[in-house]
């Protein structure tokens, strides 16, 4: 049991923190948000320089050879800056599918492009009716000669508008909610069968509605008849990043709140001198620390070999992170008072990211219900 | 970063588990499995077994019988005792007074008290709180006036846990009434048989007798029973209260409760013709607690990891979570257990007393559960109430 970082991990963390400290102030972020893509190509190039875009790939494939702890460290820093770039969709989700589901040839082709910042990926999974259920897939994949063609509609594809390629779940067999018969496919976003409509999400990210009309799949990732276990694995790995991102956001929202409580005066004294507010701030710290603990647990629990146990681990992470994020986010607004209600003030933007983060791949309620239905974490005596 | 226990720690856990399985008397285990407190004799017998093994005083220096364990091992040991469940070494002896004597006491005091403490030859109790000094402990008024080779102590202590069993009491007393609150306090050791000591039971809301009032009228305490310097007793008190911060989380105890809760709710307790655990609302409440407990367990790991390396003894901010969350989780467990028992949780009676379910009103698994629920409301009050914990967090960690 050792929570110390290795020298390499510390260097990685520091270099990301330094870059974001220089380039990702709240005002700078506003500028990036106004750019046509809604995020910064310049920053993306610097992520590439730092090795963040090749982070989870093997070194002999052109990557950085990072593990889940490295993912956690980077995601936490990105959370602190509420960074807008498509790092999680490209590197964590897309990268996860490539590592676990792609042929060596395909990785040899794509990993260098991703690591260099030339190729962005997005995960086209959610459908109108699916909410958070990964097995609820109506989009179809049909055999066409030696390949597959995809038809259907995907929504809330995070950073789907700027992605060069889309990782798409589609049904190859069975009914809409069957666990078997789901395949994962790689589709070029410029394929004539793909239509995209981009928009902004409440937390400042970009997303797209994507229509597939006999779009040609470039590759199958994993087993086209039984791809759900691969999806589950990659989503579980993504929860490591989401948890850490949330911890980064919570840390800043909490710190901002404490600073404000020390400077804002009412009734001739700093509002931080009022015990009612002090106790709320202490409760925020409790929630933050519990979340941080679960973020560490995520990096460990995702390595569980039994997929059912791994899923339970990650469900508990999502549940705690979501509960903490809600409390810290809401209270950071409340303790600031009116100022945090303004769009000009950063705190509300952290709250918005935390709110979306909780709901990504299922909110706390969803995962508590899942865990309850799976027998929970502690076996009955 | 290595977030798992290493092989040596896993082997150690097994060693502890095997020892408990082999050596814990069956009656003690069964009584504790039923959710009742062990009797005095059970606690004494078990601590002597642990002491013979060299495990009774994990927190003490090796030269005074400590096993020289890492913080991780101490945590594992504690957790295994809690989830067995087995009695823990008596906290007053092993976690509170013993470490204070080992740190601040004279050689003579160490030789005289520590071995008997470790073997539970003497049962100690804690004379800190007073009617007027609860959360504001430094406001204590019990006076000790030096007369020749002894102190004369007058005053009243309260909430003195298991004083009815005690042979000795460690006291915080005021030796300089003119000094600033914290600066006129001394730490004294007092034989409970000394004339002038009266112990009066306090019966708590569930009907149990755990705590007492202790009256001190012209009690003579020899000067050689002063620990540390006169008027520097607050240092001892702070040391004692800061010792073993992760002990308050009681993760193993909560895990044992949840296991029990889930067994009862899956087999014994029915609701609408089905086991209560199949009620989605109830199952979710249990799950929420399990999630919080998992997070707390990881927080404890973090505290152990940082405290193992820390030289300055400054607590990690995560430590403040332990008392608050640890007690909230335990209280919630006690509440859900009571709910699981339904009407059979209501049987009145002293859950500590032997044979108190003799007329077999309630099924064994349900007996006394409301009592435990009522009794456990104490957890967020003692050891520095959870509100005091929040004050400490606001001041020490947040700088408010």
CB of B266 closer than 8 Å to CB of B275:
yes
pLDDT, average across residues B238-254: 83
B369 part of a folded domain:
yes
Phi first, then psi, for residue B180 (nearest 5°) are -60, 150
pLDDT in tens, B144-172: 999 999 999 999 999 999 999 999 999 99
Instruction: Respond yes or no on whether the N-terminal peptide bond of residue B275 is cis (omega within 30° of 0).
Output: no
Contact flag B3-A3 (C-beta cutoff 8 Å): yes
To 10 degrees, what angle do helices A307-336 and A228-263 make? 20
B109 part of a folded domain:
no
Boundary residue ending a domain (B42, B70, B89): B89
pLDDT, average across residues B7-30: 96
Do B248 and B392 lie in one domain? The reply is yes
Chain B residue numbers touching A325 (CB-CB < 8 A): none
In degrees, rounded to 5, the angle at the alpha carbon of residue A9 between the alpha carbons of residues A5 and A10 is: 75
CB of A350 closer than 8 Å to CB of A249:
yes
Do B374 and B250 lie in one domain? The reply is yes
- In whole numbers, what is the pLDDT of chain A averaged over residues? 97
Q: Which of A273, A323, A267 is nearest to A293 (CA)?
A: A323
Q: Which of A18-22, B299-303, B379-383 has the highest mean pLDDT?
A: A18-22
Whole-angstrom distance, CA of residue A119 vs CA of residue A137: 26
Q: Would the pLDDT of B57 be above 80?
A: yes
CB of B169 closer than 8 Å to CB of B163:
yes
Label residue B387 exposed, middle or buried (CB < 10 Å: 0-12, 13-18, 19+): middle
CB of B285 closer than 8 Å to CB of B361:
no
Contact flag B280-A300 (C-beta cutoff 8 Å): no
Q: Which two tokens stand for residue B373?
A: 């629920």
pLDDT, average across residues A226-235: 98
pLDDT, average across residues B240-247: 73
H/E run at residue A170: strand A165-171
Classify B175 as helix, strand or coil.
coil
Residue carrying structure tokens 């005289």: B112
Band of the pLDDT at B317, cuts 50, 70, 90? Answer: low
Residue carrying structure tokens 């691969």: A230
B357 part of a folded domain:
yes
% chain B with pLDDT above 70: 95
B105 part of a folded domain:
no
Chain B residue numbers touching A369 (CB-CB < 8 A): 280, 284
B176 part of a folded domain:
yes
Distance from CA of A202 to the nearest CA of B (A): 28
Whole-angstrom distance, CA of residue B284 vs CA of residue B91: 34
One DSSP character per residue, B145-177 reads EEETTEEEEEEEE-S-TTGGG-SEEEEEEES-T
Question: What ipTM was predicted for this assembly?
Answer: 0.95
CB pairs under 8 A between A and B: 160
pLDDT, average across residues A94-123: 98
Whole-angstrom distance, CA of residue B28 vs CA of residue B26: 5
The residue among B313 and A146 whose pLDDT is bigger is: A146
Do B262 and B379 lie in one domain? The reply is yes
pLDDT in tens, A17-73: 999 999 999 999 999 999 999 999 999 999 999 999 999 999 999 999 999 999 999
Residue B351: the pLDDT is: 47
H/E run at residue A158: strand A147-158
**Which among B9, B287, B397 has CB closest to A376?**
B287
- In whole numbers, what is the pLDDT of chain B averaged over residues? 92
Q: CA dihedral defined by B163, B164, B169, B173, rounded to 10 degrees?
A: 60
Band of the pLDDT at B358, cuts 50, 70, 90? Answer: low
Count H helices, E strands: chain A? 12, 9
Q: Which of A187, A185, A189 is nearest to A101 (CA)?
A: A185
Domains contained in chain A, CATH given = 7-120 (1.10.540.10), 122-225 (2.40.110.10), 229-373 (1.20.140.10)
Chain B residue whose CA is closest to A289: B318
Residue B308: the pLDDT is: 81
Q: Would the pLDDT of B361 be above 90?
A: no
Q: Which residues pair with B270 in a beta bridge?
A: B275
Do B144 and B263 lie in one domain? The reply is no
B118 part of a folded domain:
no
Residue B207: the pLDDT is: 84
Do B255 and B212 lie in one domain? The reply is no
**Chain centroid offset of residue A219 CA:** 24
Residues of the domain holding B163: 124-231
Classify A137 as helix, strand or coil.
coil
CB of A315 closer than 8 Å to CB of A235:
no
pLDDT, average across residues B372-397: 91
List of E strands, B204-287: 209-222, 226-227, 270-271, 274-275
Residue B247: the pLDDT is: 76
Stated pTM of the model? 0.94
B149 part of a folded domain:
yes
Would strands A194-200 and A182-188 be described as parallel, antiparallel, or unpaired?
unpaired
Please count the other Cβ atoms lying within 10 Å of the Cβ belonging to residue B42: 19
Residue B359: the pLDDT is: 58
pLDDT in tens, A308-359: 999 999 999 999 999 999 999 999 999 999 999 999 999 999 999 999 999 9
Whole-angstrom distance, CA of residue B267 vs CA of residue B289: 20
Q: Which residues pair with B170 in a beta bridge?
A: B126, B189
Phi first, then psi, for residue B173 (nearest 5°) are -135, 160
Contact flag A279-B321 (C-beta cutoff 8 Å): no
CATH number of the domain that B266 lies in? 1.20.140.10
Band of the pLDDT at A196, cuts 50, 70, 90? Answer: very high
pLDDT, average across residues B360-387: 87
Classify B227 as helix, strand or coil.
strand
Boundary residue ending a domain (B231, B256, B284): B231
Q: Which stretch of A282-291, A372-381, B133-142, B349-358 has the lowest confidence by average pLDDT?
A: B349-358
Chain A residue whose CA is closest to B254: A378
Do B390 and B251 lie in one domain? The reply is yes
Do B15 and B77 lie in one domain? The reply is yes
The residue among B361 and A374 whose pLDDT is bigger is: A374
Residue B35: the pLDDT is: 77
Chain B residue whose CA is closest to A322: B291
Contact flag A5-B389 (C-beta cutoff 8 Å): no
Half-sphere exposure of A108 (CA within 13 A, CB side): 3
Residue A303: the pLDDT is: 95
Contact flag A4-B324 (C-beta cutoff 8 Å): no
- Put simply, the chain B residues between 1 and 30 with a CB less than 8 A from any chain A CB are 1-6, 9
pLDDT in tens, A157-187: 999 999 999 999 999 999 999 999 999 999 9
Boundary residue ending a domain (B206, B231, B256): B231
Q: Which residues pair with A147 in a beta bridge?
A: A144
Residue B355: the pLDDT is: 46
pLDDT, average across residues B284-298: 97
B100 part of a folded domain:
no
Residue B346: the pLDDT is: 84
Do B268 and B212 lie in one domain? The reply is no
The total number of structural domains that make up chain B: 3
**Which among A1, A3, A372 has CB closest to B5?**
A1
Residue A59: the pLDDT is: 95
Do B222 and B130 lie in one domain? The reply is yes
CB of A142 closer than 8 Å to CB of A170:
no
B310 CB within 8 Å of a chain A CB: no
Do B253 and B387 lie in one domain? The reply is yes
Residue B313: the pLDDT is: 64
CATH number of the domain that B55 lies in? 1.10.540.10
CB of A68 closer than 8 Å to CB of A299:
yes
CATH number of the domain that B129 lies in? 2.40.110.10
B321 CB within 8 Å of a chain A CB: yes
Do B211 and B288 lie in one domain? The reply is no
Q: Which residues pair with B219 in a beta bridge?
A: B153
Band of the pLDDT at B206, cuts 50, 70, 90? Answer: confident
To 10 degrees, what angle do helices A275-301 and A307-336 make? 160
Q: Would the pLDDT of B204 be above 80?
A: yes
Do B46 and B82 lie in one domain? The reply is yes
Q: CA dihedral defined by A45, A48, A52, A58, rounded to 10 degrees?
A: 160
Q: Which two tokens stand for residue B331?
A: 């209280």
Q: Which of A7, A376, A296 is nearest to B301 (CA)?
A: A296
Distance from CA of A65 to the nearest CA of B (A): 16
Q: Which of A366, A266, A256, A261 is nearest to A316 (CA)?
A: A366
Residue A180: the pLDDT is: 98
């Amino acid at each position: 049991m050792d929570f110390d970082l290795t020298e390499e991990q510390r260097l990685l963390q520091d270099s990301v923190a330094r870059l974001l400290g220089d380039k990702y102030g709240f005002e700078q972020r506003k500028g990036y948000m106004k750019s046509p893509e809604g995020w910064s190509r310049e920053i993306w190039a610097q992520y590439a320089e730092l090795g963040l875009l090749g982070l989870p790939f093997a070194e002999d494939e052109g990557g950085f050879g990072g593990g889940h702890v490295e993912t956690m460290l980077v995601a936490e820093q990105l959370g602190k800056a509420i960074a807008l770039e498509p790092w999680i969709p490209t590197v964590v989700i897309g990268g996860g599918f490539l590592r676990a589901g792609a042929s060596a040839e395909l990785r040899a082709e794509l990993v260098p492009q991703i690591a260099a910042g030339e190729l962005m990926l997005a995960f086209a999974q959610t459908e109108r009716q699916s909410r958070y259920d990964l097995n609820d897939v109506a989009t179809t994949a049909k055999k066409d000669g030696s390949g597959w063609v995809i038809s259907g509609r995907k929504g809330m594809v995070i950073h789907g508008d700027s992605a060069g390629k889309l990782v798409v779940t589609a049904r190859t067999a069975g009914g809409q909610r069957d666990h078997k018969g789901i395949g994962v496919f790689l589709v070029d976003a410029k394929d004539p069968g793909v239509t995209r409509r981009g928009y902004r999400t409440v937390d400042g990210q970009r997303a797209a509605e994507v229509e597939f009309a006999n779009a040609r799949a470039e590759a199958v990732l994993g087993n086209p008849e039984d791809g759900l276990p691969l999806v589950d694995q990659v989503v579980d790995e993504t929860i490591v990043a989401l948890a850490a991102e949330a911890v980064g956001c919570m840390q800043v929202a909490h710190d901002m709140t404490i600073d404000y409580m020390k400077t804002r005066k009412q009734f001739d004294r700093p509002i931080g001198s009022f015990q009612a507010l002090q106790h709320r701030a202490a409760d925020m710290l409790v929630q933050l620390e519990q979340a941080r603990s679960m973020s560490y647990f995520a990096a460990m629990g995702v390595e569980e070999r039994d997929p059912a146990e791994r899923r339970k681990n990650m469900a508990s992470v999502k549940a705690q992170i979501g509960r903490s994020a809600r409390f810290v986010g809401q209270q950071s607004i409340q303790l600031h008072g009116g100022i945090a209600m303004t769009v000009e003030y950063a705190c509300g933007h952290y709250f918005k990211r935390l709110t979306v983060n909780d709901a990504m791949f299922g909110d706390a309620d969803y995962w508590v219900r899942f865990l309850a239905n799976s027998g929970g974490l502690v076996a009955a005596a | 970063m290595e977030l798992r226990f290493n092989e040596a720690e896993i082997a150690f856990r097994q060693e502890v588990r095997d020892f408990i399985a082999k050596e814990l008397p069956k009656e003690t285990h069964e009584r504790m499995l039923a959710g009742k407190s062990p009797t005095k004799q059970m606690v004494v017998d078990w601590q002597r077994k642990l002491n013979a093994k060299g495990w009774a005083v994990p927190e003490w220096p090796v030269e005074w019988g400590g096993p020289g364990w890492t913080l991780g091992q101490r945590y594992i040991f504690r957790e295994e005792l809690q989830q067995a469940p087995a009695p823990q070494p008596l906290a007053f002896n092993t976690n509170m007074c013993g470490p204070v004597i080992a740190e601040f006491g004279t050689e003579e005091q160490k030789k005289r008290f520590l071995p008997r403490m470790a073997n539970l030859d003497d049962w100690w109790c804690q004379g800190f709180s007073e009617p007027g000094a609860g959360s504001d402990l430094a406001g204590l008024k019990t006076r000790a006036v030096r007369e020749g080779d002894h102190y004369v102590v007058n005053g009243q202590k309260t909430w003195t846990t298991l004083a009815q069993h005690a042979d000795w009491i460690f006291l915080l007393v005021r030796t300089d009434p003119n000094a600033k609150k914290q600066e006129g306090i001394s730490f004294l050791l007092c034989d409970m048989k000394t004339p002038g000591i009266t112990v009066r039971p306090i019966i708590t809301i569930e009907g149990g007798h755990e705590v007492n009032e202790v009256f001190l009228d012209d009690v003579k305490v020899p000067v050689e029973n002063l620990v540390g310097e006169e008027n520097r007793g607050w240092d001892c008190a702070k040391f004692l209260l800061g010792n073993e911060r992760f002990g308050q989380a009681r993760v193993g105890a909560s895990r044992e409760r949840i296991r029990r809760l889930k067994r009862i709710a899956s087999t014994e307790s029915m609701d609408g013709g089905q086991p209560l655990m199949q009620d989605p609302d109830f199952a979710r409440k249990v799950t929420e607690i399990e999630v919080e407990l998992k997070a707390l367990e990881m927080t404890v790991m973090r505290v152990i990891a940082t405290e193992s390396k820390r030289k300055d003894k400054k607590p990690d901010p995560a430590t403040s979570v332990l008392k608050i969350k640890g007690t909230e989780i335990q209280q919630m467990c006690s509440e859900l257990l009571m709910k699981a028992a339904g009407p059979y949780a209501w049987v009145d009676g002293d859950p500590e007393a032997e044979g108190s379910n003799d007329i077999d009103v309630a099924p064994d698994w349900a007996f006394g559960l409301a009592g435990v629920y009522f009794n456990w409301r104490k957890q967020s009050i003692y050891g520095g109430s959870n509100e005091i914990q929040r004050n400490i967090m606001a001041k020490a960690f947040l700088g408010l």
